[in-house]
Structure 1
C-alpha cells in the first residue's frame, strides 16, 4: 500500500528548510555567520540530546558498524548551515536555494554516474544531461539581475 506519509514529511522538511534559512540569515546579519551556525547546531544538539534521553539513550553503539568517515556528515551540515546563513540575506531565498539545489542535482548526477562513496552506479544519460542543462539555465534566469 502506497503511503502519503513520506511525501508529507518531505513537505514539512521543505518548509522547515525555508524557515530555518530565513532565521539563519537574520542571525547572520545580526551576529555573524559562525555565531548563527553555533546557535543553530547548539540548540539542535541540545534538543536531540533531550530526545535521546527520553528514548533511553538511543543506539550510539551502532556507530561502530559504519565507516568512521561518515561522521563527516556533521562537517557537511556545518557547511550547509553556514552557506545558507551567509547567502540567503545577500542573494535572497529563491536565488540561494536555486544555486544550492542545482548544485546538489549536478553533483548528485556525477556521484551516481561514477558510483562514488558507495552509491549504486547510475550512468548519466542524454535525458538526465538535458535536465541538468535546464536546471543550470534556471539558475541563470533566477540569479541574473
Structure 2
C-alpha cells in the first residue's frame, strides 16, 4: 500500500511540475526552465540528503559508475515534457509520456536490461499497455473539435508552432 501512495504522489507532483514548467518556459524559455528545475532540485536534494543521511549520502559503493549520469537524462526529461506540453497541452502530453514510459519499462523488464531482474513478457501486460494506448487514442479523438488556440492560448498568442 505504501508503494501505491508513493506512486500516486509522484503522479500528482509530476503533473504539477509539468504545469509550472510550461509557465516558466512561456516567460523565460526552455533552457532557463531546465536550469531552474534541475538546479533547484539539485540544491534541495543535496540539503535534504545531507540532513537525512549526512556523509553517507556520498557512499555509492557497488553502484555502476555510469548510473550516476542519470541527471543528464533529467535534462532530456524536462526539455521533452516542456516542449510536449507546449505543443500538445498537458493532458495529452502526459498521457503519451505515461504510455511510452510504461511500454519502455515493460521492454526493459522483459529483456532484463540495465541490471533489472528479467520479468517474462506476458500477454496480459502487453494488453494493458495496448489498452492504455487505445485510451489515449479515444481521448484524442474525443477532442477533435477543439482548436489548438483553446488548448494552448499562450503559445498561439506568441505565434509559436504548436503542432
Taking structure 1 as the reference length, the TM-score comes to 0.85
1:46 equivalenced with 2:38 (yes/no): no
Q: Deviations over 1:59-89 (max 9, x none)?
A: 2442242001111221222211112212113
What's the counterpart of residue 24 of structure 1? 21
Shift of 1:56: 6.5
Consecutive aligned runs of 4 or more in structure 1 exceeding 6 Å deviation: none
1:122 equivalenced with 2:148 (yes/no): no
What's the counterpart of residue 97 of structure 1? 94
Check whether the contact 1:33–1:82 (CA below 8 A) recurs between aligned residues: yes
Q: Number of aligned pairs?
A: 142
1:76 equivalenced with 2:78 (yes/no): no
What's the counterpart of residue 37 of structure 1? 34
What's the counterpart of residue 140 of structure 2? 143
Q: Which runs of 5+ in 1 are unaligned?
A: none
Q: Which runs of 5+ in 2 are unaligned?
A: 145-163
Taking structure 2 as the reference length, the TM-score comes to 0.77
Q: 1:81 to 1:58 in 2, by over 3 A?
A: farther
Distance 2:126 2:34 in 1: 35
**Larger mean Cα displacement after TM superposition, 31-40 or 55-64:** 55-64
